Structure 1
Amino acid sequence: MPPLTQTLEQVRAEIAENSGWVARSDGRLVGAIRAVEDGELLLIGRIAIAPDMQGEGIGRALLDAAENASAASEAELFTGSLSEANIRLYESCGYVETRRVPQDDGTEQVFLRKKLGPRT
């Protein structure tokens, strides 16, 4: 996974092509998420929470914001197999593991999906 290795142009392209939400605490940026709809599938991209703010419900709130803003019928995200806290969070939010993709370093990318209810 390529976190924090993108060029400025790649970041600009992502911003232009995706929706995004942020969380702030007293003006400080403490979390962010990006997502894009691909037909009936909401593809949730990077979720980042400030290390000192993890466990405060920010990730859950950002996931809710992305899901509630979408007209898609299902959402998908992925994380690394060593990211056990992330996997627990996603499962507690209703995501179910659908597949694992082996990586060259012996880890796996873990894909999870969640059915999204009808939007009103």
Structure 2
Amino acid sequence: MLAGMEIRRATPGDAGEVLTLQRAAFLREAQRYDDPHLPMLTETLAEIEAVIAGPVTVLVGHQGGRLVAVGRGRLDDQGTCHIARLAVAPDLRGQGLGRRMLRAVETAHHEARRFELFTGAASHDNIRLYERNGYTEFDRRSLGRGPGLVYLAKPAVR
């Protein structure tokens, strides 16, 4: 695991680094699994700035002055925390950063009754990460979301 990573809430000044890290991480994912249909690759700087300024909790992880991880969480009216855009610097995968960011987002939403997220069906590393952290797959076809996605959830531990 990478030592000395500081995790904190994102500020507007982090938006450019968040955009760069997300694009690098998700582009690597798209290339690795030959899946060019990752919507987060089209997110703009203005959109990220708006998310940071809004009700979504955006957490960033810095190590040695470098942004190395990012994650988002949004609590809905039913007490479900929707986790999204969990990304780790491609050159630092496999060092526990994804697990730390996932737990940080969950901790930031400690009042949640349930946590939900989704990933690409071909993203085997992500699916393993989530399953190792207590998430199980569930069916969300009724939402009309695109094919090739796996939805996972877990109840909050009280």
Same structural fold, with TM-score higher than 0.5 when normalized by the shorter chain: yes
Q: Distance in 2 between matches of 1:2 and 1:56?
A: 26
Query: In the TM superposition, what are the counterparts of 1:7-86 in structure 2 within 5 Å?
Result: 7-15=44-52, 16-39=54-77, 40-70=79-109, 71-86=111-126
Structure 1 alignment gaps of length 5 or more: none
- Give the Cα–Cα distance (whole angstroms) in 2 for the partners of residues 100 and 73 of structure 1: 18
TM-score by length of 2: 0.68
Partner of 1:111: 151
Q: Aligned equivalents of 1:51 and 1:74: distance in 2?
A: 29
- Report Cα offsets for 1:42-78 as digits up to 9, x if no partner: 0001011001111111111111111112111100000
Q: What is the deviation of 1:100?
A: 5.9
Q: Percent identity?
A: 42
- Structure having the higher strand fraction is 1
Q: Summarize the Cα distance change of 1:36–1:43 in structure 2 as closer, same or farther, 3 Å threshold.
A: same
Rounded Cα–Cα distance in structure 2 between residues aligned with 1:7 and 1:59 = 23
Residue 14 of structure 2 corresponds to which residue in structure 1?
A: none
Aligned-pair RMSD on alpha carbons?
1.5
Give unmatched runs, 5+ long, in structure 2.
1-37
Q: Structure 1 residues 100 and 82, CA, compared in 2 at 3 Å: closer, same or farther?
A: farther
Amino acid at match of 1:114: K
How many residue pairs get aligned? The number is 115
- Which 4+ residue blocks in structure 1 deviate beyond 6 angstroms? none
Q: TM-score, normalised by structure 1?
A: 0.88
Once residues 30 and 54 of structure 1 are traced to their aligned partners in structure 2, the CA distance between those partners, rounded to angstroms, is: 10
- Which letter does structure 2 place at the counterpart of 1:46? R
